[in-house]
Structure 1
Amino acid sequence: MQKEFKLPELGENIEAADIVNVLVKEGDFVKKDQGIVEIETDKATIEVPSSVEGKISKLFVKAGDRVKVGETIMVVEEETQETTKTTESVAEEKNKVESLSAKKEEKKTEEKPASKPAVSGEKKIVDFHLPELGENIESADVVNVLVKVGDVIQKDQGIIEIETDKATIEVPATVSGKVIEVLVKAGEKAKVGQTIIKVETGDVSETKIVETKESEIIQEQKSEETKPEFIKQPTTEVKGELPKLHPMEFVEQPPILKGAAPAAPSVRRIAREIGVDINKVPGTGPGGRITMDDVKAYSKKLHESRAEGIGIGIKAEALPDFSKFGKVKKVEMSNIRKKTAEHLSYAWATIPHVTQFDKADITNLEKTRKELSKIVEKSGAKLTVTGILVKVVVEALKKFPQFNSSIDMEKKEIIYKNYFNIGIAVDTEHGLIVPVIKDADKKSLTQISVDMNLLAEKARTKKIGLEELQGGCFTITNLGGIGGTYFTPIVNSPEVAILGVSRSSYEPVWNGYGTFEPRLMLPLSLSYDHRIIDGADAIRFLRFIVESLEQPLKMLL
């Protein structure tokens, strides 16, 4: 029995991913949960495990392909007696068809020398035009051309395969004769009334004789050779073959509005659901056809232009030709880098940012951290300042709920969250990734440290799951391991605040008794959304964090 393995759901609003690497090949035997492909989404690079087990009979993807959610990755064959029998049956049916085709060819060969075509009427050149396809359908995309110059065609024979806004269909010929010119090719758009082919017509008796003989052969074999069941059977059972799509009849073509944009019904439906006028969307597909990605890109631009605080009508300046000044190297952005650039550009353009700075004296905290590290290390993790900050931030979010919210400017609503998921920015060779520690308020400091260590390792080795990157309430980004003093982190929309941590250092601090003491000071940078958070609230929030680091028992009060 054959089983299809399809690209599973990858997370909210993620509909496709790029294949970075294919980890198996045809003929391999795969087990459940074995890695099949390595994909790169807008969020991370991850391995996709198999949900089926068996021998790979067909592999449909390769590195560099873009695959949509639900698209078939491979077909796995479970070796059973029933499968073997079915395959043999299909092979027999194929042999029968080939035999029938051979008989047809023999008959054609026998009939041709019998007599030369007798032309009873004058030969003439006839233009075959694309006929009316349905009410208000003015054009269609040519998917495939089924004839070539020199072919002898019969009336009602399929000439081209076209795709309209509603279906993919074959267009039958309305004349018989010899094709002397083909005026369209696959990928082009053809208008109703446009000349498709030129045909030399005439009453050719040879054609009629052969047609009669072929009809007799087909009629003789019909009961056992051309059953409808046979047409369907091999397409569902033979390894690696895809089902044949039967085109919709002309009478089934539903009418569409005049002048409608070239887009599939599924694309039109999505456009309607998200409030996009499909006729205004520029198409990037063959012949200007509108794809799902075109609709999404257009919708995104609309939302960005309507968002509060964004500059409308800002024209991008063209880059100069840098090669005039020296050697250059162009490298295409990875999906993660593209998404990061788009997301942060959107956040910076739509959120009125303010950044508040402060320092925390962590001299005593650092001594305690080193003492407690031995306990945490027994669990296989390290106790870090970032881990401690997760617990501190959770308490701050409880005390200042406006920091644990999101803002909906279209509905003019504030969404307050009653859960506490903290994102930790991780620097990887693939780009910035933000894993999320879920339910941080319910976890001990040791468990948070273990989770942080595990998530960071997954992010760096491309093993992280998409669900581990979603649902954050507040983000912490720590650059202290690299250096620096202060910086202005960009709010990770739809969150409303982010805490930046820089490298701690010893500084002389006035002790109030006439001398300066060396104290270990930790620089903190709090960026926030000024639409919902006022400056006074921001400094109170930041001071709570500072005081909690300096006097941890304050959190218990």
Structure 2
Amino acid sequence: MSETIVMPKLGMTMTEGTITEWYKDVGDSVTKGEPVLMISSEKLNQDVEAPFSGVLLERLGEVEDELKVGEALAVIGEEGEKASAANKQDTNAVSVELTEYEKADSSAEKPPMNAKKEQVPRDRIFITPLARRMAKDQAIDIETVEGSGGNGRITKRDIERVLANGSFKNTEQPKESIPQQTVSSTSIGAGLSPMRKAIARNMRESLAQSAQLTLHRKVNADQLIEFQQTLRNKISASHPDIKLSLTVLLARATVLALQEVQSMNSTYHDGKLTVYDEVHLGIATSLDDGLLVPVIKNAQQKTIGALADEMKEITEKARSGEADSALLSGSTFTITNLGASGIEYFTPILNPTETGILGIGSLQEELALTKDGTVTTCRKIPFSITFDHQIVDGTKAAEFLSALAKYIESPYLLVL
């Protein structure tokens, strides 16, 4: 009996994935645990392995097709077996069930070979999920589209061909003459690499589903820098491998500030707001072709040294392509540092479904007046906190920045 491979869920926020590459053709033998295809989500590429051995009977999507989590990707069975629609488990109409007419007809005596075939309604339509969404967005009647895929399946290319020819039945008339300024979900990131396309979709989703506002503030970092140098001198002999960067100390300060202002350490997903005691800190990590956010789980339990070690480990995994879905999911708050690029202030976009993200700018040297009126210099770090105004107000975001400033200006609190 044939079995189905479905689109896996690689992270809490993943709703769909894109087929990047097929390793197997229809008719090829597959072994349990052997990669069958590669998919990409909003965060990473990953091989999908065969959960059982057999022969690949059918591929239910083409390269660049987007399928929702749980939708059928392929059917595996025994050689010579036909793929059964009942086993595909695709509730979004990879195929339509047999009609009562077809069921009755299947049990009746077959007509003579030369009998005139009766015209019956096209009740069984094979169509990929992406093609169905494109047809819906463009008001195309799929009854009028001829599919070029297996079993006459309608694919993305068929919809594109219909759009190019302009030969389709528009079943929905506009209700008003004002053109709608909407963007089809299928067009977001079109023409980009799978990772850039996923990032584009993720960022557009973030902006569409939250009310984002950014506050900016500079904090005196003189004491923090002195504290960093003192710790480096103390541990250099016994722990030479620990890289005690300012980012590590700022991560520790962020964790402590989040424990004071817990409303900032929260997620909002599917109508449910969750405020966390644990801080799962996302570290935005730039790559040559995109951005990943590996996560330090339970960061509130980590010492400064442990944070330094883990931050180095997870960012190296992200840049080398070794990060798995567990490492790239589950964050409750994210920090992103553009200090090395010389950027002072910016407006980071929330990592769905988080309430806040902290942007760190480059260290600034400024003139300042002392209490006795003399001019001196000081070093300040600019911060940009973007938050979801649906969840918290500006006063809470400002309260978080104040708590952060306290730990930066009194850095010995970081080790208490």
TM-score class, shorter-chain normalisation, is 0.5 to 0.7
In structure 2, how many angstroms separate the alpha carbons of the residues matched to 1:541 and 1:421? 17
- Give the SS at the match of 2:114: strand
In structure 2, how many angstroms separate the alpha carbons of the residues matched to 1:15 and 1:528? 23
| Match of residue 259 from structure 2 | 398
Matched, 1:504 2:357: no
| Match of residue 387 from structure 1 | 248
| Match of residue 322 from structure 2 | 463
| Comparing 58-67 and 7-16, the one that deviates more | 58-67
Amino acid at match of 2:298: D
Residue by residue over 1:437-474, the C-alpha shift from the partner in whole angstroms, topping out at 9 and shown as x without a partner, is: 11001112222222222222332333321222222111
In structure 1, how many angstroms separate the alpha carbons of the residues matched to 2:335 and 2:100? 49
Amino acid at match of 1:176: P
- Give the SS at the match of 2:397: helix
| Match of residue 121 from structure 2 | 190
| Match of residue 18 from structure 1 | 18
In structure 2, how many angstroms separate the alpha carbons of the residues matched to 1:46 and 1:380? 32
Matches within 5 A, 1:413-432: 414-432=273-291
In structure 1, how many angstroms separate the alpha carbons of the residues matched to 2:137 and 2:190? 29
Contact 2:7 2:70 in 1 (8 A): yes
Contact 1:511 1:517 in 2 (8 A): yes
Amino acid at match of 1:287: E
- Give the SS at the match of 1:359: strand
Residue by residue over 1:198-230, the C-alpha shift from the partner in whole angstroms, topping out at 9 and shown as x without a partner, is: xxxxxxxxxxxxxxxxxxxxxxxxxxxxxxxxx
1:401 CA displacement: 1.5
- Give the SS at the match of 2:340: coil
1:41 CA displacement: 1.5
Q: How many residues align?
A: 352
Residue by residue over 1:308-362, the C-alpha shift from the partner in whole angstroms, topping out at 9 and shown as x without a partner, is: xxxxx993289xxxxxxxxxxx961344433433333343344333322111222
Amino acid at match of 2:200: A
Contact 1:381 1:453 in 2 (8 A): no
Contact 2:336 2:360 in 1 (8 A): yes
Matched, 1:176 2:41: no
Residue by residue over 1:33-52, the C-alpha shift from the partner in whole angstroms, topping out at 9 and shown as x without a partner, is: x8775431122123557878
In structure 2, how many angstroms separate the alpha carbons of the residues matched to 1:440 and 1:285? 52
Q: Which structure ranks higher in relative contact order (CA pairs < 8 Å, sequence separation ≥ 6)?
A: 2
1:462/1:173 Cα in 2 relative to 1: closer, same or farther (>3 Å)?
A: farther
- Give the SS at the match of 1:467: coil
1:539 CA displacement: 1.9
Amino acid at match of 1:470: S
1:398 CA displacement: 1.3
Unaligned runs of 5+ in 2: 81-92, 130-135, 146-152, 156-177, 184-188
In structure 2, how many angstroms separate the alpha carbons of the residues matched to 1:368 and 1:497? 27
1:476/1:173 Cα in 2 relative to 1: closer, same or farther (>3 Å)?
A: same
Contact 1:5 1:76 in 2 (8 A): no
In structure 1, how many angstroms separate the alpha carbons of the residues matched to 2:351 and 2:70? 26
1:45/1:29 Cα in 2 relative to 1: closer, same or farther (>3 Å)?
A: closer
In structure 1, how many angstroms separate the alpha carbons of the residues matched to 2:358 and 2:337? 8
| Match of residue 39 from structure 2 | 39
In structure 2, how many angstroms separate the alpha carbons of the residues matched to 1:177 and 1:418? 72
1:8 CA displacement: 5.4
Matches within 5 A, 1:98-113: none
| Match of residue 64 from structure 1 | 63
Which of 323, 338, 341 is residue 197 of structure 2 equivalent to? 338
In structure 2, how many angstroms separate the alpha carbons of the residues matched to 1:382 and 1:394? 19
Note the aligned Cα RMSD (angstroms).
4.9
